[in-house]
Amino acid sequence: MASPKSFACSVIALLFAAHLVSAQLSANFYDKSCPNALSTIRTAGCDGSVLLDDTPTFTGEKTAAPNNNSLRGFDVIDNIKAQVEGICPQVVSCADILAVAARDSVFALGGPTWVVQLGRRDSTTASLDTANNDIPAPTLDLGDLTKSFSNKGLSATDMIALSGAHTIGQARCVNFRNRIYSETNIDTSLATSLKSNCPNTTGDNNISPLDASTPYTFDNFYYKNLLNKKGVLHSDQQLFNGGSADSQTTTYSSNMATFFTDFSAAIVKMGNIDPLTGSSGQIRKNCRKVN
């Protein structure tokens, strides 16, 4: 069983990497068909395409550049799915499990809660190319970050708020090596610390917290760090680097309640992007493979 800390970090990462696929979603979708679904997900510890293992007919998203050796927690979702299947076989989708588990994880680590709209169905395929093209890379500048989110119907405000999920989780050395060895808008002490676990030419898969101040608490220290040039990823520091995101980042750094409110609104909005509902897709028995 994963610890609460690793559970939360893994599930929030899964949620943001998944293609969440506002059709007919409802907060009380399982009230009659599986009334204990949400409590089971919570105690156990998107269209869910990110969960699919590779098959002879498609290469999935797990080895996409932003995910490979970084996206984790699949075993946690497997455990939750097994327990939910035990009480309500083929009723609750893997996509909805991801959405609920992300909400419960954030709340368990001190963050906000929100009403999750339910009724998603699971994708029957996944795409490595789509994941590589659609998931924002850690090397992106502010303009490209904003465009990436805009392409999904999310505003710059949404992007800055959702980036706050990096208050938990960890990053691979390969994704911040260039920043700590080549960039100048980084705190010297942070760069030195990260270099100890990320050599110049080796250790690609070594990991370090995205928020070294409070890595296992969902709070606003991610934004406080940015004001002090302590963003681990290049894309993180872009939110406070003399550009249009500076004002919102500064607000979040001093007003956690505002961050929580905006984050909750943005994640609900993201979860309602083109969901599979009705007769589309399926309810997988096993989140790793189609039925």
Q: For 23-39, what is the mean pLDDT?
A: 89
Question: For residue 12, is it within any domain?
Answer: no
Q: Tell me which of 57 and 175 has the higher pLDDT.
A: 175
| CATH number for the domain harbouring residue 264 | 1.10.420.10
Say yes or no: 162 and 262 in one domain. yes
Say yes or no: 206 and 100 in one domain. no
Say yes or no: 172 and 249 in one domain. yes
CA separation (Å) from 52 to 100, 282, 285?
Answer: 18, 13, 12
**Cβ-Cβ contacts under 8 Å for 185 (sequence gap 6 or more):** 229, 237, 241
**Cβ-Cβ contacts under 8 Å for 137 (sequence gap 6 or more):** 65, 66, 235
Binding positions for Ca(2+) are 45, 47, 49, 61, 167, 211, 214, 219
Binding positions are 45, 47, 49, 61, 136, 166-167, 211, 214, 219
Taking the whole predicted model, whether its pTM rises above 0.75 is answered as yes
Question: For residue 115, is it within any domain?
Answer: yes
On the question of pLDDT at 4 being above 60, the answer is: no
Diameter over CA atoms, the chain: 57
Q: For 100-105, what is the mean pLDDT?
A: 89
Say yes or no: 158 and 267 in one domain. yes
Say yes or no: 233 and 277 in one domain. no
Binding positions for heme b are 166
Over the stretch 191-208, which tens digit does the pLDDT of each residue have?
999 999 999 999 999 999
Q: For 48-77, what is the mean pLDDT?
A: 53
Say yes or no: 211 and 241 in one domain. yes
Question: For residue 88, is it within any domain?
Answer: yes
Query: What total of structural domains would you count in the chain?
Result: 2
Lowest model confidence (mean pLDDT) among 46-55, 249-258, 280-289: 46-55
Question: For residue 149, is it within any domain?
Answer: no
pLDDT of residue 126: 76
On the question of pLDDT at 1 being above 80, the answer is: no
Question: For residue 45, is it within any domain?
Answer: yes
Question: For residue 21, is it within any domain?
Answer: no
pLDDT of residue 271: 87
Say yes or no: 204 and 282 in one domain. no
| CATH number for the domain harbouring residue 71 | 1.10.520.10
pLDDT of residue 201: 93
C-alpha 93/C-alpha 30 separation (Å) is 11
pLDDT of residue 57: 56
Say yes or no: 113 and 213 in one domain. no
Binding positions for substrate are 136
pLDDT of residue 56: 65
Say yes or no: 194 and 100 in one domain. no
Question: For residue 7, is it within any domain?
Answer: no
| In 204-255, alpha helices (H) | 221-227, 234-237, 246-254
Say yes or no: 241 and 277 in one domain. no
91 exposed, middle or buried (CB, 10 Å; 0-12, 13-18, 19+)? middle
On the question of pLDDT at 101 being above 60, the answer is: yes
Work out the mean pLDDT of the chain and round it to a whole number: 85
Question: For residue 125, is it within any domain?
Answer: yes
Banded pLDDT at 42 (limits 50, 70, 90): confident
What domain range includes position 222? 154-271
On the question of pLDDT at 243 being above 80, the answer is: yes
pLDDT of residue 229: 98
Banded pLDDT at 49 (limits 50, 70, 90): very low
Say yes or no: 245 and 279 in one domain. no
Say yes or no: 196 and 283 in one domain. no
On the question of pLDDT at 68 being above 70, the answer is: no
